Amino acid sequence: MAIVTTDKLDRAYEAYKNGKLSRRRFLKYLGLAGASIGLAGAPFAGAVRNAWAAKSIRFDGWGGSVSEAFRENAFKPFTKATGIEVIDGEFGDMNSFLTRVKASFPPGGEFNIAHLSAVFDYARYTDLGFSSVLDESKIPNLANVMKAMIKPLREITKGTLSAVPYDLGQTGIAYNTKHISKEKAEKLGASLLWDKSLKGKLGSWGGDFRTNMWYAALHTGQSPNNMTDMKAIWEALREQRGLMKKYWASGAELMSLLANEEIYATVAWSGRVAALQQEGHPIGYLSPKGTYSWMEYLYVLKGTDMEVAQKLLNFMLEPAAAIAVAEGQNYPPSLDPSKVKLTDKIKKMPAFDPTGKLEGYLFANPAYWNSHQVEWTEKWDRIKAGS
């Protein structure tokens, strides 16, 4: 048997932190370390595993400016204050990340906290058995979070929480004010995305069937959470495809297309619109009735060291940290404006609600959308491909 020294163990830990060694391989290595000094067995293995786990926790997010905001305003200060390192991972979309979680061993074991979006993913992860139960007494800053954001999560996990809400956003409509007047945008509403005069200058998010179907529903006069004429939905999306310049794949690409005036109108994440506006680009934001609203939350996966996770969550909900992250990523925080004083920059962000009640915000019904996900994803992919 190979001898595992302390130096080798330290190098293995560094490789694990840098993503060069999987969690599964690292834990196996810890077992070998125990065997090398004659202390193999459950008590020792648990002690070693807990000792190493306490030094780090993994957090997976959206990458780009969003991850940078978390890194600079939450993770680095947290590590400085506690000595616990946050291993910062990234993903491109929810489906690909869920595939990685399912493939990990044990399922979910490689991953600790994920910055998930929309309530339907909270339901999806819970239904798949990845939920945890937070000890809310260890997260006192949860008291400052908008109740309207906490309520739908409690309903899914029957009174408990597996995540804390962290920010609020919308997928509204961005448009170039040099080429489209505010009056025209407001008159057309969601139908701006089907304006034939904009052929070759329209965009949409190619990676999400919900967003595209949501606006097709608004365009055809239907409720996005209860579409009754599916033929009209698919016909609208086929028609729209013929008007498209590009289905963008990331927030960075969305911003580039708008900033370079390659497209004049598109569905767009409100935080990316705010960033473009702050940079001085002539971009307007349209939020028609029924705009796709969503919340993002920090989901703690089953098997995570809860003491460390709850410590990080409470730190991230500290007003100073939450406000700094919100300003960095351009999405309003989950903090209730009636309880916490927020900055002028946050108050100007698209999707900000000064009341904290979120009345009139339309969120996706998780049971409705999840029950049709496979069927509608396949249909949307065919339409996007031109069939």
* Structural tokens at position 32: 């070998």
In degrees and rounded to multiples of 5, residue 227 shows phi and psi of -80, 125
pLDDT value, residue 241? 97
The pLDDT assigned to 36 comes to: 42
Mean pLDDT within 38-57: 50
Distance CA 118, CA 125 (A): 12
Which whole number is the average pLDDT over 92-120?
86
Fold matches, 51-168+296-363 and 169-293+366-384: yes
- The pTM for the full model equals 0.77
DSSP reduced 3-state for 305: coil
CA distance 38 to 27: 17
* pLDDT score at 10: 57
Position 46 scores a pLDDT of: 46
pLDDT band at 37 (very low <50, low <70, confident <90, very high): very low
DSSP for 339-354, written as a single string: TSPPPHHHHTSTT--T
Q: In CATH, what is the architecture of 51-168+296-363? A: 3-Layer(aba) Sandwich (3.40)
Superfamily grouping for domain 169-293+366-384: Periplasmic binding protein-like II (3.40.190.10)
Answer for the pair 24, 111: CB distance below 8 angstroms, yes or no. Answer: no
Q: Measured between alpha carbons, how far is 34 from 47 in angstroms, rounded to an integer?
A: 10
Number of other residues whose CB lies within 10 A of the CB of residue 383: 18
When mean pLDDT is compared across 118-122, 187-191, 266-270, 276-280, the lowest value belongs to 118-122
d(CA 76, CA 68): 11
How do residues 219-231 score in pLDDT, each as one tens digit? 999 999 999 999 9
pLDDT level of residue 157 (50, 70, 90 thresholds):
very high
Q: Where are the domains of the chain?
A: 6-50, 51-168+296-363, 169-293+366-384
Q: How far is CA 160 from CA 7, 136, 145, 154, in A?
A: 42, 9, 15, 6
Mean pLDDT value across residues 263-286: 96
Mean of pLDDT over the chain: 88
Average pLDDT over residues 20-45: 49
The closest alpha carbon to 171, from 218, 125, 124, belongs to 218
